[in-house]
Amino acid sequence: MSTNNLSEEAKTRLMNFFNNTIDPKGMAKVIRQANYLLALGAMREQTLQNETINLENSFYWLNELAEILNPYLDVE
């Protein structure tokens, strides 16, 4: 596991994300839901409709967090 420190910009973005967008407990829930659904889908090779909707929501929040940690889509 890496021990690199976050830049001040990344820290600020994370604070804003968790203060204004989604709370840390909600984000942890999203991550756990995504992990569960990915594992379930791999085991079943299919997903149910409700699980697919949860996975879509989880994907959105994980992508938002990734953009905060390392902006990729905003770079021109």
Whether the pLDDT of residue 66 is over 90: the answer is no
- Average pLDDT estimate for 47-65: 74
Q: Could you tell me if 28 and 49 are in contact, meaning their C-beta atoms sit under 8 angstroms apart? A: no
Q: Could you tell me if 68 and 62 are in contact, meaning their C-beta atoms sit under 8 angstroms apart? A: no
pLDDT of residue 20: 93
Q: Tens of pLDDT along 2-46? A: 667 888 988 898 899 889 988 888 888 888 888 777 777 767 765
Model pTM? 0.57
Structure tokens at 55: 């996975």
DSSP 36: H
- Average pLDDT estimate for 53-67: 78
Higher pLDDT, 69 or 75: 69
CA 50/CA 40 separation, integer angstroms: 13
Burial class of residue 30 (count of CB atoms within 10 Å of its CB; 0-12, 13-18, 19+): buried
